[in-house]
Amino acid sequence: MLWQALIAARDFGRLHEIASVLIRYGFGDIVRRMGMANVLERAGRVLLWKHADELAHLEPPARVRRALEELGPTFVKLGQVFATRVDLFEPEWIAEFGKLQDSAPPVPYADIQQQLAEDLGAPPEEIFAAFDPEPLAAASIAQVHHARLADGSEVVVKVRRPGIRPVIEADLRWLMRLAELVEAEYPELRNFHPLEIVRQFEQSLRRELDFATECRNAERIANNFAAYADQDAASTSATDQMPGSAALPAATIIVIPRVYWQWTGERVCVQEFIDGIPGRNLAAADHAGLNRKILARRGAHAVLKMIVEDGFFHADPHPGNVFYLPGNRIAFIDFGMVGSLTEERRVQMIRMMLGLVQHEAERVADVMLDWSGDVSVDEKGLIQEIQAFVDQYHGVPLKQLSFGAMLTDLTGILRKHRIALPADLALLIKAFITLDGMGRELDPDFDTAGEAIPLLEQSLRALYTPAALIKRGWRSAGEMLALIADLPHDLSRLLRTARRGRLEIHIDVTHLKRVGNQLDGAANRLVIGIVVAAIIIGSSIVMTVSGGPTLLGLPTFGLLGFLGAAAGGVWLLLSIWKSNRADRE
Q: Name the more confident of 354 and 129.
A: 129
Within 8 A by CB and 6+ apart from 159, the residues are: 112, 115, 116, 119, 142, 143, 144, 145, 267, 268
pLDDT, one tens digit per residue, over 58-94 is 788 888 888 888 888 888 888 877 887 777 778 888 8
Residues 6+ apart with CB under 8 A from 110: none
**In contact, 455 and 308? CB cutoff 8 Å:** yes
pLDDT in tens, 426-449: 777 778 778 888 888 888 888 777
Q: Give CA–CA dist 523/340, Å, rounded.
A: 51
pLDDT band with cut points at 50, 70 and 90 for residue 547? low
Strand segments (E) across 62-205? 130-131, 137-138, 142-148, 154-160
Helix (H) or strand (E) holding 548: none
Question: pLDDT digits over 462-483, tens only?
Answer: 777 787 778 777 877 887 888 8
When mean pLDDT is compared across 102-116, 284-298, 368-382, the lowest value belongs to 368-382
SS3 158: strand
How far, in Å, CA of 338 to CA of 323, rounded?
18
Phi then psi for residue 261, to 5 deg, are -65, -25
- Look at 83 and 329; give whichever has higher pLDDT: 329
C-alpha to C-alpha distance for 24 and 264, rounded to whole angstroms: 41
Closest to 236 measured CA to CA, from 221, 219, 253, 220: 253
Helices (H), ranges, 234-342: 282-287, 292-304
Q: What angle do CA 458, 406, 96 make, to 5 degrees?
A: 125
**CB distance 43 to 11 below 8 Å:** no
Cβ(543)–Cβ(507) below 8 Å = no
- Burial group, residue 572, by CB count within 10 angstroms (0-12, 13-18, 19+): middle
Helices (H), 234-378: 282-287, 292-304, 343-357, 361-372
Using CA atoms, how far residue 186 sits from 129, 178, 181, 192, in Å, is 58, 11, 8, 11
Q: What is the DSSP letter of 374?
A: T
Output b/e per residue, 369-406; b: 16+ Cβ within 10 A: bebbeeeebeeeebbebbeebbeebeeeeeeebbbbeb
Share of residues in the chain with pLDDT > 90 (%): 16
Q: Are 138 and 106 in contact (CB under 8 A)?
A: yes
Provide φ and ψ at 515, rounded to 5°.
-60, -40
For CA atoms 21, 24, 30, 35, give the dihedral sign: positive
Region of residue 355 (left: phi > 0; alpha: psi -120 to 50; beta: else):
alpha
Percent of residues, the chain, with pLDDT higher than 70: 78
Beta bridge partners of 550: 555
Mean pLDDT confidence for 142-164: 92
Q: What is the residue-averaged pLDDT of the chain?
A: 78
Instruction: State how far the Cα of 123 lies from the Cα of 117, in Å rounded to an integer.
Output: 4
The answer for residues whose C-beta is within 8 angstroms of residue 352's C-beta and 6 or more apart is 363, 364, 367, 368
> DSSP label at 259?
B
Q: Is 244 helix (H, G, I), strand (E, B) or coil?
A: coil
What is the average pLDDT across 542-548? 69
Measured distance CA(332)–CA(224) in Å, rounded: 13
Confidence at 4, pLDDT banded by 50, 70, 90: very low
Whether 458 contacts 451, CB under 8 Å:
no
At 242, the pLDDT band (50, 70, 90 cuts) reads: very low
CA angle 410, 415, 421 (to 5 degrees): 80
Q: Is the pLDDT of residue 249 over 50?
A: no
Instruction: Give the C-alpha separation, 579 to 16, whole Å.
Output: 24
70: amino acid identity, one letter: E
548 neighbors 555 (Cβ within 8 angstroms): yes
Give the amino acid at 524. N
Residue 403 clears pLDDT 90, i.e. is over it? no
**Confidence (pTM):** 0.69
> Average pLDDT in the 110-119 region?
91
From CA 411, how far away is CA 434, in angstroms rounded? Answer: 15
What are the Cα distances from residue 457, in Å, to 164, 482, 508?
46, 34, 44
Non-local (6+) Cβ contacts of 362 within 8 A are: 355, 383
State the pLDDT at residue 247: 39
Q: Please compute, for residue 49, the number of CA atoms within 13 A of its CA located in the half-sphere on the CB side.
A: 12
Lowest mean pLDDT among 97-101, 121-125, 514-518: 514-518
User: Are the beta carbons of 290 and 324 closer than 8 angstroms?
Assistant: yes
pLDDT in tens, 176-215: 887 887 777 777 666 667 887 788 788 888 888 899 999 9
Alpha-carbon Rg for the chain, nearest whole angstrom, is: 31
3-state SS class at 455: helix
3-state secondary structure of 422: coil
- Three-state DSSP at 131 gives strand
Of all helices (H) and strands (E), which one includes residue 53?
none
Phi, psi of 323 (to 5 degrees): -125, 145
Q: What pLDDT score was predicted for residue 8? A: 47
Q: In sequence order, what E strands does 505-559 have?
A: 550-551, 554-555
